[in-house]
Amino acid sequence: MFLSNPFAELSAQIPVAVMQGYIVLMVAFVVIGTILDMMHKKSAKYFFLNAEKAKKNAKREVGAGEKIAIATKVLVVEVATSGEFKNVKRRLSHLLTMWGTVVFVATTAILIFKYPTPATPAPAILPQLWHIGALMLAVGGYWFWFSIRVDVSAEGLPWYRVERADLFILSLLATSTFALIWSYTQFNGIAGWSTLFLILFAASGVVLFGGVYWSKFAHMFFKPAAAFQKRVTVADGSRESLPPDYDLSSPEVHKLFPDVPMYMGKNPPNMGKGIRREPAKHY
Ligand code: HEM
């Protein structure tokens, strides 16, 4: 199964153009969903508002060269190695989930656009990476869902409790799980079931990429931008004048974000995507 390209076999039933059209549609969903999310959350407005405020409080100018060094640090620390997570288990689970998703999604596109039929055999490493990516995502995601996420680990809520904030993690898990079962049933010639799991795989993909506006999907774009901004404000010295970590109970943050209700309780309410019920500081 790990060496077989499931999309090449699928091309006997579904035209290659339909598979490629599906990928293009999912990319369009992500672009449109992220733009709508940014408009809805006014994240771009706050991002530049912050940059303006920081510039006024800056003790020194951060040059282009230094900004490139900072961007490189963000790519290596916050992005590639999930450096924002202080909790080792959470960091490992996020690394599995994130890199599993990247490998799984990238190899899906390469297999469908470059090696879509048996006449265009893919190098063995590609279907292997496709299956390994889906497995990494499943292992990291189920670990997070059943034992790491705060609802379960800190608040003792049952693992089967679902809320809208879980749309992202659940659609990730559904997509990877149905993909693996589809590949297995297709490889073993279990026709009826492989059709069912193909439909479930494609449908959960539509929920994952089509649900960006309602889920936490776009955090993968916002978090690096926020991490970059944070590092720049530390470098130019303006950070001292801002509260350390956008503590929702801080009057300063409230002045900055007047329409974000101040919250003095232990567990801030779910403020929509990207802010989970967790202490403001460390993950
Ligand atoms: C393919 C890319 C990525 C995937 C699949 C992914 C997946 C996830 C998942 C499933 C969660 C838990 C969501 C939940 O609480 O239900 C999460 C949270 C988080 N991710 Fe990612 N992530 C990705 C990229 C990134 C990047 C690039 C960064 C940072 C630069 C990042 C930083 C975080 C942080 C800080 C949290 C905790 C958010 C919170 O609890 O408020 N992620 N990610």
Q: What is the pLDDT of residues 136-167, one digit of tens each?
A: 999 999 999 998 887 777 777 888 889 998 99
CA 68 to ligand 1 centroid distance, Å: 23
CA-nearest residue, atom 15 of ligand 1: 276
Protein residue whose Cα sits closest to atom 1 of ligand 1? 98
Confidence class for position 45, pLDDT limits 50, 70, 90: confident
Residue 268 lies in a domain: no
Task: Please indicate, yes or no, if residue 100 is contained in any of the structural domains.
Answer: yes
Give the Cα separation of 128 and 52 in Å (integer): 47
Q: Which atom of ligand 1 sits closest to the CA of residue 278?
A: 40
Distance CA 14, CA 191 (A): 14
Residue 213 lies in a domain: yes
- Span 162-198, pLDDT tens digits: 999 899 999 999 999 999 999 999 999 998 999 999 9
- In the predicted model, is pLDDT for residue 16 greater than 70? yes
Assess if residue 283 is contained within a domain.
no
Domain that holds residue 202: 6-225
User: From the CA of 211, how far away is ligand 1's center (Å)?
Assistant: 16
Q: What is the pTM of this model?
A: 0.84
55 in a domain, yes or no? yes
CA 13 to centroid of ligand 1, rounded, Å: 36
Ligand 1 close to Cβ of residue 236 (< 6 A): no
Residue 240, in any domain of the structure: no
Structural domain total, the chain = 1
Residue with the bigger pLDDT between 21 and 49: it is 21
| 102 touches ligand 1 (CB under 6 Å) | yes
260 inside domain: no
**Mean pLDDT for the stretch of residues 229-237:** 91
Q: Which atom of ligand 1 is nearest to the CA of 79?
A: 30
Query: Is 186 inside a domain boundary?
Result: yes
Q: What is the pLDDT of residues 63-111, one digit of tens each?
A: 999 999 999 999 999 999 999 999 999 999 999 999 999 999 999 999 9
